[in-house]
Chains A and B, each alone.
Chain A
Amino acid sequence: MGDIAFLLIIFFLVCSEASKDKSDLDVKLPYSEHVAKQKTTVVARVALDGTGQIYFDGVKVDSAKDVEWGVRNLLTNTVADDQRHVQFKCDKLQSKEAFEPILQAIAEAGGIIEAVGEKSEK
């Protein structure tokens, strides 16, 4: 019994992945009828919270330029399209001046944007 239990623990430990996403961020997601469950694996997670603070893989960064360098660095040896997906989570009340430079930074670095939102009815 004890052996089985320990095997199960080892299974859980091996299979579980520590989340790089900061779940405690103050981000109110926008709605759209077109959002679907994300099927691809993302190489990086970028977030812009309600206060305008930018996060790259859970770490605070100063500007969109830092995001561009970070994504560029991760995609240096990447060829396949399915390895270029970058998750972008942004507060719905943020203005264009805050989020557009980040979107452009990800695109400039060669990332495909996975913009996170919530499903709304038609």
Chain B
Amino acid sequence: MPRKRHTKEKKNRDLAIPTDSFSDIAFLLIIYFILATTLTKVRSITADLPSGEKTTQAQPEKTSIVNLRGSELFFNDQKMEIGALNERLAALNLGEQDGNKRVIMLESARGTSYENYFQALAAISAHGGVVAIVENEK
């Protein structure tokens, strides 16, 4: 008889789910999430390039143009450094202009690196200009 009682007790003990280690597991998961999460915030420039019909007719006498030829930078055919371009663009007060007066054409020669292009694009956008990409004839 005592033997029978013993097996019944064992059965009851097996049914219970051990929850003692749950909080430990939970905290381990929290530590994992905290360590694995990377709060990255990228830095960027915002460039709103106008879309629409392509035109072959430009108005260079009215619109300023930035040319990138290899590593050289020209603003209205004047060679200058990126610092000088910033000053010239700031003087134009593009942010306070409206419509077409905010447009700056950006032309680049074949093989122009993105590094130079990005700097020109960033300068124009930062001063409130709207970039119009000039496509070279193929």
Residues of chain B within 8 A of A69, CB atoms compared: none
The number of chain B residues touching the other chain, given as a range, is 35 or more
Q: Is the CB of B110 within 8 A of A97?
A: yes
B43 and A35 form a contact (CB under 8 A): yes
Interface 1/0 per residue, A77-107 and B, CB below 8 Å: 0000000010100111111110110011011
**At the interface, yes or no: B1 with Cβ under 8 Å from chain A?**
no
Name A10-57 residues within 8 Å CB distance of B: 12-13, 16, 30-38, 40
Q: Does more than half of chain A's interface fall in helix, strand or loop, or is it mixed?
A: mixed
A61 within 8 A of B: no
Instruction: Among B30, B45, B113, point to the contact of A114 (Cβ < 8 A).
Output: B45
B26 A2 Cβ-Cβ under 8 A: yes
A94 to B27, CA, bound (A): 46
In the complex, what's the smallest C-beta–C-beta distance from A107 to chain B, in angstroms?
4
Give min CB distance, B114 to chain A, whole Å: 5
Across the interface, which residues of A come within 8 angstroms of B125, CB to CB? 34
Complex Cα spacing A40 to B49, Å: 17
Q: How far is the CA of A94 from the CA of B112 in the complex (A)?
A: 8
A93/B33 contact (C-beta < 8 A), A30-B118, A35-B43, A117-B43 known? no
Q: Does B47 lie within 8 Å of A112, measured CB to CB?
A: yes
Q: At the interface, yes or no: A119 with Cβ under 8 Å from chain B?
A: yes
Q: Count the A residues whose beta carbon is within 8 Å of the partner chain — how many?
A: 47
Q: List 28 A-B contacts (CB under 8 A).
A: A5-B27, A6-B26, A8-B30, A9-B29, A13-B33, A16-B37, A30-B119, A33-B122, A34-B126, A35-B44, A36-B43, A38-B43, A87-B42, A87-B44, A90-B114, A95-B110, A95-B113, A95-B114, A96-B109, A103-B49, A107-B51, A112-B46, A113-B46, A114-B44, A114-B46, A115-B47, A117-B122, A119-B43
| Residues in A lying within 8 Å of B, measured CB to CB | 1-2, 5-6, 8-9, 12-13, 16, 30-38, 40, 85, 87, 90-97, 99-100, 103-104, 106-110, 112-119, 122
Chain B positions within 8 Å of A, measured between CB atoms, are 19, 22-23, 26-27, 29-30, 33-34, 37, 41-51, 83, 108-115, 117-119, 121-123, 125-126, 133, 135
